[in-house]
Amino acid sequence: MNMNKATGFLSVVLMAQLLLAGTLMFSVPDLAAVRPDTPLIELTDQSVDRLIIEGADNEKVVLRKASDRWTLPDHFGFPVENGKVAQLIEQLKSLQHGFPIATTSTALTRFKVTDKSFERRITLAQGNEVLKKIYLGSSPGIRRIHARTDENEAVYSVNFSAYQVPTKAENWEDKEILRFPQEDIEEIRVADLIIRQAPAEPAKEKKEKAEGAEKEEKSTPPKQPVWIAEGLGAGERLDEEGAAKLAGLLSGLRIARVMGIEPQAEYGLNAPRLSLSYRRKNAEIVEYVLGKAESGTDFVLKASQREEYFRLDDYTVKPLLEAASRDKLAKNGEKDDTPVE
């Protein structure tokens, strides 16, 4: 009798275990099917042309693609740095995850990946259609962050950082908007001087020199453009190295950020520290007016070919002011053409 009771009890326990196992099998995700290289998002055949990046303190930046160029529609429509958005989208598409570290709604708050609590919320859209939303939350370690999508409540740890998606428009600006190849400069007007590249040699003379050069060893580097100037005083000559340096600084100018599109008295442009103009090949003359901001050490630049006012860093402006001064461009005495032994 006792043996029958024991057998019956064990049968009940076994049935309970089987029922529990069956319940778990159908209620718990198939973790064995989760590969460690599973993409966090998939954008197959979907072209993103709008991104919205939001931060923890209500910061927000919108990026929009128009005519094959990404811009900041809420920031004067200013262009975004070339390649920066494409790089971000590729980084997001390459994010991979393995097993979820949490799947409950209470865990979302703990890992800061809810609609009300997050470090970053990234919306990827095509026109008015939202394609994906990604929430980035707390960080479990260096270059790791908790993440989830709006499609479910599974939280993952991925190889990414919140700083890779800044929420300030100035961090997306094309800081090289004013840059161009130095060799494009044909003329600079500054300090009562008109500095030009010397006219090209006639074709016949150029050919004769080229034929002669073929007979010599090519041991010297190519010559830099030769500059000439109008407006020099008696006994003055143009410092060609100084002219080349100024051309290099103008062509390589980098902005710090966009200040706005409306003139402000505090920009100091009514009493400019520098006024000059330059002309590029097959282009109109561009005028630069540089003012000293009333506060701080910053300078403000207005370029005639752009509607914006740009802030320039002090370390960018000082070399430019020095190179544009007359004493760096005009030297006393005749040019010494004696070859160095």
Residue range 87-100: mean pLDDT, rounded: 93
Spatial CB neighbours of 336, under 8 Å, sequence gap ≥ 6: none
Spell out the domain ranges in the chain.
Answer: 35-171, 182-199+224-331
Nearest to 264 by CA among 289, 288, 297, 294: 294
> Poorest-confidence range of 60-69, 202-211, 283-292?
202-211
Tokens of 203: 């074709």
Residue range 178-206: mean pLDDT, rounded: 87
Q: What interhelical angle do 240-251 and 314-323 show, nearest 10?
A: 150
Cβ burial of 232 (10 Å; 0-12, 13-18, 19+) is middle
Band (30; pLDDT cuts 50, 70, 90): very low
pLDDT in tens, 153-187: 999 999 999 999 999 999 999 999 999 999 999 99
